[in-house]
Amino acid sequence: MATVLQANPREDLRGSATRKIRKKGYVPAVIYGSKTESKPVAVEGVDLLKTIRDVGKNGLFSLDIEGKSKHQVMVHDIQVDPLKNEYLHIDFFEVDMQSEIVAEVAVQLDGDAPGEKEGGVVSHLLYDLSVKCLPADIPEEIVVDVSNLAIGDSIQVADIRSSVKVDVVNEDEETIVTVQAPAAEVEPEGTEAEEPEVINEKPDNEE
């Protein structure tokens, strides 16, 4: 059964009205698409959180506006209050299921790199990849295996392109992850203790 999120239209777009919506536990939002005019709506905050958890970051679900119209959408943008960690505003993008779109997909590293056990540092450089595909084919994440990486090795987009079922938009030479050599330890110069130099020491024959 497809996930459905209920929404109500927003007529009053003044800041005071928006604050009242948030106080009631709703999140201001807007829905738009290539064939859909922008329409302000509001969704219940708890239901929104459950929906995102159920379908994932790039998941598709149905947005039911007051029981009068349903739209197949995905979350395009989320504004979050950094202090309260609450949703401030959501952009819903209505997709055409027959047309390819570009979406950002998270990169997940898997495995233990031998180079890390040798003292190297695994450096994750590319956290998201851009993919182009039909909306229903957008993966939740792209897993990159690092279990064969020694110190100095890296994985670039070209190395994983054939293993991803959708078209990756990024350039081949972009580095996803690398294992860097450990920082060289600086050895102290000299191992023997040196006698301190005495300033203005008088010669033995001077009285």
Report CA-CA distances (Å) from 68 to 9, 51, 93, 173, 179: 11, 20, 18, 48, 54
Q: Is the pLDDT of residue 204 over 60?
A: no
Q: What is the model's pLDDT at position 159?
A: 97
Residue written as tokens 């698409």? Answer: 33
Domain ranges of the chain: 4-94, 101-180
Q: What is the model's pLDDT at position 188?
A: 56
Q: What is the model's pLDDT at position 117?
A: 92
Comparing 182 with 39, the larger pLDDT belongs to 39
pLDDT digits (tens, 9 = 90+) for 22-79: 999 999 999 999 888 899 999 999 999 999 888 887 889 999 998 888 999 999 999 9
Strand order in the sheet with 128-133: 141-145, 101-110, 128-133, 167-168
Torsion angle of C-alpha atoms 67, 69, 74, 77, degrees rounded to 10: -90
Q: What is the model's pLDDT at position 184?
A: 62
Q: Is the pLDDT of residue 186 over 50?
A: no
Task: Find the distance separating the first CA and the last CA of the chain, reported in whole Å.
Answer: 105
Ramachandran class of 169: left when φ > 0, alpha when ψ lies in -120 to 50, beta otherwise: alpha
Q: Which of 114, 119, 111, 76 is nearest to 94 (CA)?
A: 76
pLDDT digits (tens, 9 = 90+) for 68-121: 889 999 999 999 988 888 889 999 999 998 999 998 999 999 999 999 999 999
Q: Average pLDDT of 158-162?
A: 96
Q: How far apart are CA 26 and CA 30, in angstroms?
A: 13
Average confidence score pLDDT of the chain: 88
Tell me, yes or no, if the two domains 4-94 and 101-180 fold the same way. no
Q: Average pLDDT of 152-166?
A: 96
Q: Which of 134, 129, 179 is nearest to 154 (CA)?
A: 179
Q: How far apart are CA 136 and CA 121, in angstroms?
A: 37
The domain 4-94 having CATH identifier 2.40.240.10: the answer here is yes
Bridge partners for 143 per DSSP: 108
pLDDT digits (tens, 9 = 90+) for 130-142: 999 999 899 989 9
Q: Is the pLDDT of residue 190 over 70?
A: no
Ramachandran class of 85: left when φ > 0, alpha when ψ lies in -120 to 50, beta otherwise: left
The CATH architecture of the domain made up of 101-180 is: Beta Complex (2.170)
Q: How far apart are CA 42 and CA 12, in angstroms?
A: 11
